[in-house]
Structure 1
Amino acid sequence: MAAKSVSSLPQSIEDTLSLLEAGGYVADRALATVLFLSLRMKRPLFLEGEAGVGKTEIAKVLAATLDRPLIRLQCYEGLDISSAVYEWNYAAQMIEIRLDEASGKVDKSAIERNVFSEKFLIRRPVLQALSGEPGKAPIFLIDELDRTDEAFEAFLLEVLSDYQVTIPELGTIRAAEPPIVIITTNRTREIHDALKRRCLYHWVDYPTAERELEIVRRKVPAANERLSDEIVRYVQKLRDMDLFKLPGVAETIDWAGALTEMDKLALDPETVSDTIGVLLKYQDDIARIAGGEGRRILDEVKAELNAA
């Protein structure tokens, strides 16, 4: 069921919890508190944590429940201004110049003003985020900032300080209302303190078993109750192991969905072995679980549920 959107920002921590709940996001009070403060203080929210714990989903839920557009800047190594902020439509500019010349126009300054006008400007995510209307400022998701280099991080620092961008040919474009900024990082490298100081910070950890079970029930409602419980307990035990990449909540949901598609009512050794690639994404981790370690974990899960 789609989340019901609201037009105004939450007025309390309880309202924020309800907002996230309406979007199907199971949050603890600490997250709701820092999100509420970020919205009230108009400060970017810096979310750090392992991949797959639900950082990006927070921005998506906010966009849906607040009825705001979601502008996503997916970061990667080598991200530059032309991809992140703006660039000119050079092909259209050249056509315009040829048409002006063919019509006999010789005023070069007038031609230049014409081709460097907004109709030839291609707005990338940063500029799009600064173009929101008052009362409807977008949710600006800067996803996986740690994948970019320090040069782009320094540029972003200027954008987040004044919510403006200077385009040499046009001048300074300033946001009528600052966007709601959500920054995520998987902590593959440290982000400079200067940027963090401009944000409110929250570490998004793996959920408790109770919260993760509630997440699975919401995201995969067709899953058998016993199966959901076994899946969550199994994943929670995997996270206590020294694996190369621990499974995130996203993988838990995927596994529950896959097993539900297979009409499974409970875990068994063969099913775990056949589907472990949905949960774990590195061969060394899979090889370790495929042996006796995986069976031992499953036996512990069964014993705990039978004793409950």
Structure 2
Amino acid sequence: MGKTEAAKALASVLGRELIRLQCYEGIDASAALYEWKFPRQMLAIRQAGDAYVNLYADEYPIARPLLLALQEPRQRLLLFDEIDRADREFEAFLLEFLSDFTISIPERGTIRAAEPPVVVLTSNRTRELHEALRWRCVYPWIDYTDPALETEIVMMRASTVARATAERVVAAVNRLRAEPLAKPPGVAETVEWAEAATLLAAQGTPWPRAFARAIGVALKDQEHLSFLASRLDALITEAVA
């Protein structure tokens, strides 16, 4: 949640529309650039009969995030969310795009941004990005926030959570982050844990049992739960105390 929210905040500060491209394994250029409205093109051909039809007029292409960003570079911020989930091929394509900010549409020509758009890339570090791509970026590291601010985030995001619950969940999450976990819980998991514990307590599960039962929204790996099984009660007791 923190990385994407940072991009949203930057777009808000700059007064720009956020154009978000969620990256995933198998994503290709057409998902990022443009595609054609084939059903409308076929309908236009049938309706035209023997008349000439321009199948590449303005009403037929569907602009995807990269094309949208190039069309209005001063009004938009382009976000590549979780770029490390994409394939190496897409990463190479992105490297070329960031070099000159142009898109070539064979049927319409080359579109070049009037000025370089603001581009943000986020990564979960599931794999190393190509060095050439990293060297084209300014790299800010977003660390976990301090407990007081994280508590305020929980209160803002989860309106039904009591402040005492938020404080206890934040304390527990910070203890979990000190453990050697492959992926420690982030702020999003803190919010979810607080909401889940509050819901269980409202349904009659006594505290701190509700707190302990909801830990599955913070630790989403059986190996992590098994690793901490012997110390889990102590960690939760310390946080609740």
TM-score normalised to structure 2 length:
0.87
**53, 65, 74: which one pairs with 1:125?**
65
1:75 alignment partner AA: C
**34, 43, 53: which one pairs with 1:86?**
34
2:100 alignment partner AA: D
1:281 alignment partner AA: K
Partner of 2:217: 278
73 and 220 in structure 1: CA distance in 2 versus 1, 3 angstrom threshold: same
C-alpha distance after superposition, 1:165-214 (max 9, x if no partner): 11111111122343321100111111112112221111222223343234
Q: Residue 140 of structure 1 contacts residue 181 of structure 1 at CA under 8 Å; is this kept in 2? A: yes
Partner of 2:94: 156
Residues 170-189 of structure 1 aligned to structure 2 (within 5 Å): 170-189=108-127
Deviation of 1:115 (Å): 0.9
Residue correspondences, number: 238
Does residue 1:297 correspond to 2:222, yes or no? no
For 1:220 and 1:65, the matched residues in 2 are separated by 24
Q: Residue 254 of structure 1 contacts residue 279 of structure 1 at CA under 8 Å; is this kept in 2? A: yes
Partner of 1:75: 23
Partner of 2:83: 145
Residues 115-264 of structure 1 aligned to structure 2 (within 5 Å): 115-132=55-72, 134=74, 137-220=75-158, 222-262=160-200
Partner SS, residue 118 of structure 1:
coil
268 and 295 in structure 1: CA distance in 2 versus 1, 3 angstrom threshold: farther
191 and 73 in structure 1: CA distance in 2 versus 1, 3 angstrom threshold: same
C-alpha distance after superposition, 1:101-138 (max 9, x if no partner): x2x33xxxx64xx112222111111111212164xx21
96 and 280 in structure 1: CA distance in 2 versus 1, 3 angstrom threshold: same
For 1:226 and 1:121, the matched residues in 2 are separated by 53
Q: Residue 129 of structure 1 contacts residue 140 of structure 1 at CA under 8 Å; is this kept in 2? A: yes
For 1:301 and 1:133, the matched residues in 2 are separated by 47
Residues 1-150 of structure 1 aligned to structure 2 (within 5 Å): 52=1, 54-100=2-48, 102=49, 104-105=50-51, 111=53, 114-132=54-72, 134=74, 137-150=75-88
For 1:224 and 1:98, the matched residues in 2 are separated by 62
Structure 2 stretches of 5 or more lacking a match?
Answer: none
Q: Residue 163 of structure 1 contacts residue 175 of structure 1 at CA under 8 Å; is this kept in 2? A: yes
Deviation of 1:253 (Å): 1.2
Structure 1 stretches of 5 or more lacking a match?
Answer: 1-51, 304-308
Deviation of 1:60 (Å): 2.0
Q: Residue 255 of structure 1 contacts residue 279 of structure 1 at CA under 8 Å; is this kept in 2? A: yes
For 1:69 and 1:170, the matched residues in 2 are separated by 26
Partner SS, residue 195 of structure 2:
helix
How well do the aligned residues superpose, as a CA RMSD in angstroms? 2.4
For 2:133 and 2:3, the matched residues in 1 are separated by 18
Deviation of 1:302 (Å): 4.5
**Greater CA drift, 203-212 or 248-257:** 203-212
Q: Residue 68 of structure 1 contacts residue 138 of structure 1 at CA under 8 Å; is this kept in 2? A: yes
2:171 alignment partner AA: R
Deviation of 1:247 (Å): 0.9
**Greater CA drift, 120-129 or 267-276:** 267-276
For 1:244 and 1:268, the matched residues in 2 are separated by 29
For 2:3 and 2:126, the matched residues in 1 are separated by 15
C-alpha distance after superposition, 1:146-176 (max 9, x if no partner): 1111221111122222222111111111223
Deviation of 1:301 (Å): 2.8
